[in-house]
Amino acid sequence: MDDQCDKCGICCKLFLINLNEEEYKSGNYKTMNQDFGYIDDFEDAEFRGANILETKEDGSCTYLKGVKCSIHNDRPQVCRNFFCRSKDPKWKGMIDTINDAKNIK
């Protein structure tokens, strides 16, 4: 169906995921460079990219297992908001990237 995510996992391989302030401060997510310490000020954390979810060597999200999200019920808000068949123009660039990746395969 066109209005449902079929959980192919492609978007989880292509994009960096920014945590919002509440998610970042919860400490519940593995983030980039977290071994270098936690940044209290969220604006500073955003500026430094410290609120971005950790990625694997291939660039995919650290929580992607196969094609499934291993934290589906607790996934970040941006993951809940995005849908690759959305008509909202704000997602167009990302959707184009997904379609390009599908065509290359």
List residues near ligand SF4 by CB under 6 A.
5-12, 17, 61, 63-64, 69, 71, 75-76, 79, 83-84, 98
Q: Which is nearer to ligand SF4, 42 or 71 (CB)?
A: 71
Please state the closest distance from residue 65 (CB atom) to ligand SF4, in A: 8
Please state the closest distance from residue 36 (CB atom) to ligand SF4, in A: 21
Residue 15 CB partners (closer than 8 Å, separation 6+): 94, 97
CB of 9 closer than 8 Å to CB of 66: yes
Q: Which is nearer to ligand SF4, 41 or 89 (CB)?
A: 89
| DSSP states along 30-83 | -BTTGGG---SSHHHHHHHTTTBBPB-TTS-BTTEETTEETTGGG--HHHHH--
Please state the closest distance from residue 33 (CB atom) to ligand SF4, in A: 17
